[in-house]
């Protein structure tokens, strides 16, 4: 058994010892378009790529910096390589959290030049949490305990073909990166 995974672009990626040169936006966009939010428990398929694009558009509408908009698009990019773990379990898995932090920092370094500073990270978290609130309200009929959940955008919470979500993710990635 190998200690690596083979990515969509055929790279051999070692999650616990990642190399920045092996991180590929095409792998990220493709994998996130195929991964579902809420560990597959929403009433219909809604991809992490769709969520990420919605977060980037919300950050843009809030007039956050281009760096924060791009960070919102990429905030779940490590999931392309390690999947996701639901929040209640994730906090109990220190090895996962450490590996995720290392990989996410590398992704930010590669595509943003540096990880978001504390103020920028708080803006990304606020957008992510607000989007989470509305996703759960739409797909589950449940209002999570997230006090600041106002959105300035009106995301389309519906199932889309993964190829469309992948295309949108790459489109916004290239638009935002060109503005950095």
Q: Which residue ranges form the domains of the chain, and what is each CATH number?
A: 5-179 (1.10.3210.10)
Paired strand residues for 12: 6
Average per-residue pLDDT for the chain: 96
Identify the pLDDT of residue 1. 59
Residues 6+ apart with CB under 8 A from 15: 5, 81, 82, 99, 103
The answer to whether the beta carbons of residues 173 and 57 sit under 8 Å apart is no
pLDDT grade, residue 39 (50/70/90)? very high
Q: pLDDT by residue (tens digit) across 101-123?
A: 999 999 999 999 999 999 999 99
The answer to whether the beta carbons of residues 54 and 161 sit under 8 Å apart is no
């Amino acid at each position: 058994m190998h200690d690596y995974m083979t990515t969509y672009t055929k790279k051999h990626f070692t999650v616990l010892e990642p190399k920045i040169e092996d991180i590929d936006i095409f792998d990220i966009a493709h994998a996130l378009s195929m991964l579902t939010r809420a560990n597959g428990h929403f009433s219909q398929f809604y991809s992490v790529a769709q969520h990420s694009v919605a977060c980037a558009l919300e950050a843009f509408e809030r007039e956050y910096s281009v760096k924060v908009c791009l960070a919102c698009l990429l905030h779940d990019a490590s999931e392309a390589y390690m999947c996701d773990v639901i929040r209640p379990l994730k906090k109990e898995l220190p090895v996962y959290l450490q590996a995720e932090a290392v990989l996410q920092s590398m992704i930010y370094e590669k595509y943003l030049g540096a990880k978001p500073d504390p103020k920028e990270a708080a803006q990304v978290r606020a957008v992510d949490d607000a989007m989470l609130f509305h996703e759960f309200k739409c797909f589950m009929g449940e209002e999570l305990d997230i006090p600041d959940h106002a959105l300035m955008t009106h995301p389309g919470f519906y199932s889309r073909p993964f190829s469309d979500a992948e295309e949108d993710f790459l489109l916004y990635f290239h638009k935002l990166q060109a503005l950095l």
